[in-house]
Amino acid sequence: MIEKIYHAIAHKIENRPRLVAAIFGVMILISLIGMTHVTMATGSETYLDRDSQSGRIFFHYIDTFSADNLVIIIEADNVMSPPVMDYIDRLSKNIKQQQYIWNIDSAVDLYRGVNNGNIPTSPEEVDALSSKLPKEILSKYTPAGSMTLVRITLDQGIPDSKSKATLANVEAIVRDSSPPPGVTATVTGNPAFQSQMRQQLSGSMGSLILIAMILMVVVMGLLFSYVNHRFLPVLIVFIGLILTFGFMGIVGIQVNTAVIGAFPVLIGLGIDYAIQFQSRLEEEARKCSTLASAVTITIKKTGPAVLYAMLATSMGFIAMQVSEVPMIRTFGIVSMIGVMLCYVTSLIVIPVFAILIKYKPKGKKFKEGEGQGEVGSYNKLLATTAVKIARNPIPVILIAGIFACAGLYLDGLIPVDTSEKAFVPPDMPAKVTLDKVTRAVGSTDSMPIYVYGDGITELDTIQWIDKFSNYEITNHNDKFIAATSIVTYIKSYNSGKLPETQQELDAALNSIPASIKDHYLKGGSETIIEFFTTNMDMSVESSVKDLVYADLKQIQPPIGVQAKITGNFDLFTSLISGLTKSKETMTFLGFGLVLGFLLLIYRKIQAASPIIPIIFIVGWNAVAMYTLGINYSPMTATLGSMTIGVAAEYTILIMERYLEEREKTDDPVEAIRESVQRIGSAITVSGLATFFGFSALIFSSFNIISNFGITTVIAVGFSLLGAIIVMPAIIPIIDNLAIKIEQRWGRKRKNLI
């Protein structure tokens, strides 16, 4: 069946090359239109699935209670001088008039509160009023004499588009605010961070693709000189990228941090397919009497072999769909779509191009078994090495296995890092200013606890919120700075104390302005407690979350009421366990899918031979990551399943050519010699091309992408070694085992008959 399909493709290309080229041209035009609809995604939805239990609570909290915060950093020699305070007051009033601003507060408001609503007019008055303000409260706004903070809270639940528009308005007001001489004002906060992150991601994507394409041109120029039209694979992969972008725009797949990393991966893999097709075309064009025969053999022989390799690679990307992290699933989908489109492009465009230009091979025609210059010498060297390994496989397998076992042990010692601020460039302005605020006053994020159920406004629930909040602040005062909830305002509107009866509580609630009450209370069934935290590493935050949940078991809410930690605090700490669990699941599933696929396609025991080198390679990756000090992130967590796919391609190509040569000889070692000698250089060139394509990721200013680039480059290098060094050791053992099983099975069948 598969032979008939590829024979039909070859027949159509030979007879109607211009029609096929025209159809492909229309596909490219449609894709160019689709590219204009590609959008960028950052933030929570790239890390958390809306349909999960945590996702439902998180996004309900975001839509109901969460409000983005902006911070204006005011810096001067003396930020509490009257002229600077006048400037802050004027700036705050202008911003307050903007839409979607819920509240603005600053140290100026504190001074107003103890000065009958007036701003101090002299340094002496400032000093006198400062003595009336609690130092711990004043330090939250003015951590140093040269810095003060203006905190801006946006309306709850506004969409990203309105948050971005509000950020732009605030930045414009600050830019045109004419501060006093020596005073600077800088806007920061999560909306600013996300906005700059999107901008830099967009720029990073274009630069990474450009770098990868330049590297491909250099590699093809240096390593693919033994064929005519050596830069044709670069054109092929460029067309494949256009088709991939176009498909994404048409079906609405957004670009996120992980997807940006997928494009250099696609360039590396896509050029690999093109090299395999063009190398076989060059080989057949030297042997065959007509170009049509060379094209037919190339399509019929290389088409299925590269198809199987491509589908095996896709198994690794399919395995990513079990991940709990949406950006990893999207990475897998885009990568799978991309490699398929690059394969189709290579299968169609290279033969069509060859026929239309009447392709001629480089150099003279040669007889069966001859090499060509340095390439022939290199192939013979590989073949000689492969034969030696095939005759003495045990040392190679033992050494490879020992390093793989070490990797399995070390893998559990590699930390998992899910801090979004650690992913971005260290010199990104929004990160620099956020870090400045964090160093001065602690974390800019809070740990919200979503409290929901029946009777939220009942006295016993309010008393529990107060008791639990006080317990956490008292027992974890090195982690929590303060807690704010509806109880904070109930006390404020009840003479500073908690009501003792339901009647007192209802009266206090009714006296709280709706603009404040709605921020913390929704009806009688939902409320939040916000714990403001010190600056903590992600691993510490994860342990703090466990402590709080342990406290919730000890100090349980009233019957019918539940409490869940949510917000970014829960999102990024949950990613740690999610990534740890999903990376193992993806890896094991990838192994299973590739093995099942190979056995299904080839229906021979020999088809299992690529799995052993792949297992070794995954283990070697862990050794490299541990040695280099690279942590697991939402991107490097995909390394196991992606390596399975990449390594499967090279090992399958070796196995496929081995099975082809095995039909010509009864000697497995001779079959190895011929298979490695035939495609050794092509695999080496394609491996190096993939290597340099992936290496473009290293140049990213985003740590999450550059670390992923380092690990994938190492994985490609290991995959090449696994195919050229380990496969010759594995194939004879598996082949001999298969022969013995078939002979034993044959004798059993004969006895049964």
3-state secondary structure of 731: helix
Last residue of a domain, one of 153, 174, 195: 195
Query: Hey, what are 447's tokens?
Result: 């740990």
Q: Are 243 and 235 in contact (CB under 8 A)?
A: no
How many domains in the chain? Answer: 3
How much is the average pLDDT of 493-513? 87
Last residue of a domain, one of 521, 536, 559: 559
CA 229/CA 233 separation, integer angstroms: 9
Residue 243's pLDDT band, with cuts at 50, 70 and 90, is very high
Looking at the structure, tell me whether residues 589 and 535 fall in a common domain.
no
Q: Give a yes or no: residue 426 inside a domain.
A: no
At residue 129, the pLDDT reads 85
Over residues 16-46, the pLDDT tens digits come to 999 999 999 999 999 999 999 988 776 677 7
At residue 23, the pLDDT reads 93
Over residues 129-138, the pLDDT tens digits come to 888 777 767 7
pLDDT at position 585 over 80: yes
Q: Give a yes or no: residue 411 inside a domain.
A: yes
CA 312/CA 318 separation, integer angstroms: 10
CA 165/CA 153 separation, integer angstroms: 14
Looking at the structure, tell me whether residues 158 and 288 fall in a common domain.
no
CA 304/CA 2 separation, integer angstroms: 7
Looking at the structure, tell me whether residues 268 and 380 fall in a common domain.
yes
Looking at the structure, tell me whether residues 745 and 606 fall in a common domain.
yes
Q: 242-246, 640-644, 658-662, 727-731: which has the highest mean pLDDT?
A: 242-246
Q: Are 565 and 61 in contact (CB under 8 A)?
A: no
Q: Give a yes or no: residue 56 inside a domain.
A: no
Last residue of a domain, one of 534, 559, 584: 559
Helices (H) then strands (E): counts for the chain: 28, 9
Query: What residues are paired with 447 via a beta bridge?
Result: 531
Query: Hey, what are 714's tokens?
Result: 């190492």
At residue 363, the pLDDT reads 61
144 or 555: whose pLDDT is higher? 555
Over residues 299-331, the pLDDT tens digits come to 998 898 889 888 888 888 899 898 888 888 898
Looking at the structure, tell me whether residues 553 and 581 fall in a common domain.
no
Q: Where are the beta strands (DSSP E) in 177-314?
A: 184-189
pLDDT averaged over every residue in the chain? 84
Task: Select from 710, 689, 688, 691 the least CA-distant residue to 699.
Answer: 710
pTM, two decimal places: 0.76
Q: Are 233 and 216 in contact (CB under 8 A)?
A: yes
Determine the structural domain holding residue 141 and report its residue range: 68-195
Q: Give a yes or no: residue 430 inside a domain.
A: no
Looking at the structure, tell me whether residues 462 and 321 fall in a common domain.
no
Looking at the structure, tell me whether residues 663 and 717 fall in a common domain.
yes
Q: Are 382 and 725 in contact (CB under 8 A)?
A: no
At residue 377, the pLDDT reads 76
24 or 513: whose pLDDT is higher? 24
Q: Percentage of the chain surpassing pLDDT 90?
A: 22
